[in-house]
Amino acid sequence: MTQPLNIIIFDGSFKTRSFINRLAQGLTERHQVYILGFNETLPNRLEKVNYIPLGSNQSKIRFVKTTLQYALQSGSIKLVYKTLKKIALGRRNELHKQNLRFVLQKIAPDVIHLQWLSVIPWFEEVLSAQTTPVVLSQLGFHVNVRPFVNDNNFSYLHRWYPKMAGFHSVSKAISRNGDKIWNDTSKIDKVVYTGLPLEITPFAEKYTILNSLQLLSVGRPHWIKGYDYALQTCKLLKDKKVPFHYTIIGGAGNEELQFLIADLGLKGDVSLTEAVSQKEVFDLMRSSSLLLMPSLEEGIPNVVVEAMAIGLPVVSTDCGGIPELIANGVNGWVVPTRNPEAMAVAVMNFRELSLETIEAVRLAARRKVEEQHSEERMIEGMERLYFEVLGRFHAGDAESSAEGAEGK
């Protein structure tokens, strides 16, 4: 696995999620990594990662400048003329695709790694031509929910999935959902778990049992996160006179949650805050009693992995890939989805545990993360996937060439 590769990582933006930043940074040790995006500004760029603009969505001037620059670099007067005409007509989407075409030709990637199912339309030409292997990550709402509630989306994915050279799944559960969209005996689909930089995610050596439980959830207020069930859990705790305070980081301004808090009589017991930096999330985890993960569906949520790494005990629903991470009562607690009563019982049972028992669970959680979610394991897993895909892709090319020679 020493051959250096040209790898394009694409999710449409330079501002990629933390998993991609860690993957890209790790891959640069042996490979050339390119992140393509429809923006041209990023305050903190990863060292050794090549950021290639496709035309800014934030600035018309930068968009025109980048687009004309690529057209001029092509050396085609005809293309420059067509580009100027499309700019005048405001055909931004066509020009974005033109820029992408130019960049792909210039980089000549060995493999293209798409981060979301929603970006497939940008690469239909590549997938149809089968000139470069494309790997697709399977994660989140786009695999777990959308194809199964939107017939058009399912049909679209069912059409394009067979053209993927390989799939990266963030959990076994999400891989099974991907198989419902399309499956084949020759399909390459590897589970590679999200990796954490454990050296900068230190375990909180001291855990304090607080009289008033400090409950925490982190994530955008989407219905799939199940916060309405968590709030019903809080209502049950309050009725049982269990002292607590519940904070949802990222929930600020959500009218449905605000209404439910008022309707359940939880004003003063629940706080909805703005999204904060990763460091601030970790600090809050270290001062909290328990992480609540009430989601209806997930891959393997990063926030649970991070909490377990830091040493914050977790009560989670048994959604998605959670059973691949949490063994009930060993390194956390698992309850059924859509069941506020079960979550309330789990919280009340937790409150009765001794510090010794909690410490055993915290240590087991950290060990699980170290074994399954190290950065090194993630990077090695993705490299193996890329090389397996490339081996299959080039073997197919060789077979096609041989068949062509025989036919002459």
Rounded-to-integer distance, Cα 24 and Cα 16, Å: 10
The percent of residues in the chain predicted with pLDDT above 90, rounded, is 88
User: CA–CA distance from 314 to each of 216, 328, 329, 384, 407 (Å)?
Assistant: 10, 10, 10, 32, 63
Rounded-to-integer distance, Cα 245 and Cα 232, Å: 14
pLDDT at 405 over 60: no
Asked if residues 111 and 132 have their Cβ atoms less than 8 Å apart, the reply is: yes
User: CA–CA distance from 93 to each of 11, 45, 84 (Å)?
Assistant: 16, 26, 14
Homologous superfamily assigned to 198-372: Glycogen Phosphorylase B; (3.40.50.2000)
User: CA–CA distance from 69 to each of 195, 215, 298 (Å)?
Assistant: 38, 53, 42
Q: Residue 35: enclosing H or E segment and its boundaries?
A: strand 32-37
pLDDT at 375 over 60: yes
pLDDT at 129 over 90: yes
pLDDT at 379 over 80: yes
pLDDT at 313 over 60: yes
Rounded-to-integer distance, Cα 304 and Cα 212, Å: 22
pLDDT at 330 over 80: yes
Query: What angle is formed at CA 175 by the lines to CA 172 and CA 181, rounded to 5 degrees?
Result: 155
CA 88 to chain centre: 37
List pLDDT tens digits, range 10-47.
999 998 888 899 999 999 999 999 999 998 888 889 99
Q: Once rounded to an integer, what is the mean pLDDT over residues 202-215?
A: 94
pLDDT of residue 395: 85
Q: Once rounded to an integer, what is the mean pLDDT over residues 131-158?
A: 95
The pLDDT-based confidence of 400 (bands split at 50, 70, 90) is low
List pLDDT tens digits, range 252-304.
999 999 999 999 999 999 999 999 998 999 999 999 999 999 999 988 999 99
Ordered by start, the domain boundaries in the chain are 6-53+110-195+375-406, 198-372
pLDDT at 407 over 80: no
Q: Report DSSP letters for 264-293, one per residue.
A: TT-BTTEEEE----HHHHHHHHHT-SEEEE
pLDDT at 408 over 60: no
Other Cβ atoms within 10 Å of 79 Cβ, number: 16
pLDDT of residue 393: 92
Of 343, 388, 398, whose CA–CA distance to 111 is shortest?
Answer: 388
Q: What is the pTM of this model?
A: 0.89
pLDDT of residue 41: 83
Q: Report DSSP letters for 140-204, one per residue.
A: SHHHHTHHHH-HHHHHHHHHHGGG-SEEEESSHHHHHHHHHH---TT--EEE-PPPB-GGGS---
The pLDDT-based confidence of 404 (bands split at 50, 70, 90) is low
Largest CA distance in the chain: 84
pLDDT of residue 397: 62
pLDDT of residue 2: 65
CATH architecture of 6-53+110-195+375-406: 3-Layer(aba) Sandwich (3.40)
